[in-house]
Amino acid sequence: MSRTIYVNGCYQPYNNALLHVEDRATLFADAVYEVVEIKAGNLVDQDAHLERLERSLNEIKLVTDFALHTIPFIIRETIRRNRVKNGYVYIQVSRGCAQRDFVFPKTNETPATLIIFARSKNPLKLDKKSKKGIKVITHPDLRWKRPDIKTTGLLASVLARQTAIEQGAEEAWLYNKDKIITEGAASNAWIVNNQNELITHPANQSILKGITREGVMQLAKELNLKFSERPFSIEEAKEAKEAFITAATNLVMPVTQIDEKTVNDGKSGPISLKLREIFHEFAQISH
């Protein structure tokens, strides 16, 4: 549990880290966020995450009264105060607190709300899980039409993930009306076909352009593996040689079962494991 959480200029003890009921994050999910991995006290791909945060803010036309370049200092201090060595940091910016109205409040009268907290996560547990691999279920993609923006409006993803858990799986792979897998509830979805080609959905408005996904593309080049950003169907996924998910919270995590179909005889695939093993060698680490 985080002991100290940053809320609008103050480092608050956990129990006092409160938002006003009329914060627009609570009323409208009028907020965007980022999750950055902390490894050995350092931040993994922080700049790319903060660039994406800026993009999300621009897409929802949220103008902050604070300079975004102050965020890395607050992140550092939050990690320090919570003594997190391995885990993640969560950053959220909402359009501030104002009387409920669908129309934006005036920027000069309504400061944006910035929240930052850091959590520890045991990397050994995740590594152990990666050896075994995870099960995913397929689930209709019921999200709004702009999941490329990392907003806190996550109810469709919450319901999909919950359904996965209730069915003994760890993630839901979302599919559209054409039975194309877009991505996971909170991760990008990948398959490897018989030609050892890595395939993931194109980074258009239907998915979040994952930072880990970008990293894996870089790795594919390093390893001389072919990759292709193209749509793939549920059917194709079930015929895949390997499958995996990517996200800052679990890096490259092999998938060994999709619905009732086992992948790679129910074992974590060698390409997925290799990508996981070398991921940090090529990531940008901020000390």
Residues near ligand PDD (CB under 6 A): 35, 147, 183, 186-188, 208, 210-213, 246-249
For residue 74, the one-letter residue type is: I
Burial class of 15 by CB neighbour count within 10 A (0 to 12, 13 to 18, 19+) = exposed
Classify strands 285-286 and 42-44 as parallel, antiparallel or unpaired: antiparallel
Query: Cβ closer to ligand PDD: 187 or 268?
Result: 187
- The least CB distance from residue 246 to ligand PDD, in Å, is 5
- The least CB distance from residue 56 to ligand PDD, in Å, is 11
Side-chain half-sphere of 160: how many Cα atoms within 13 Å?
22
**Tokens 């279920």 sit on residue:** 137
CA–CA separation, 67 and 77 (whole Å): 17
Are 222 and 229 a contacting pair, CB within 8 Å? no
Q: Which two tokens stand for residue 207?
A: 């998915």
Query: Cβ closer to ligand PDD: 136 or 186?
Result: 186
Query: Cβ closer to ligand PDD: 97 or 172?
Result: 172
Q: How far is CA 30 from the centre of its chain?
A: 18
- The least CB distance from residue 116 to ligand PDD, in Å, is 14
- The least CB distance from residue 53 to ligand PDD, in Å, is 11
Query: Cβ closer to ligand PDD: 56 or 256?
Result: 56
CA–CA separation, 28 and 39 (whole Å): 33
Query: Cβ closer to ligand PDD: 208 or 263?
Result: 208
Strands annotated E in 17-81: 31-39, 42-44
φ/ψ region of 108 (left if φ > 0, alpha if ψ in -120 to 50, else beta) reads: alpha
Strand partners, 242: 192
- The least CB distance from residue 48 to ligand PDD, in Å, is 8
Strands annotated E in 42-112: 42-44, 87-94
Catalytic residue annotation: 150
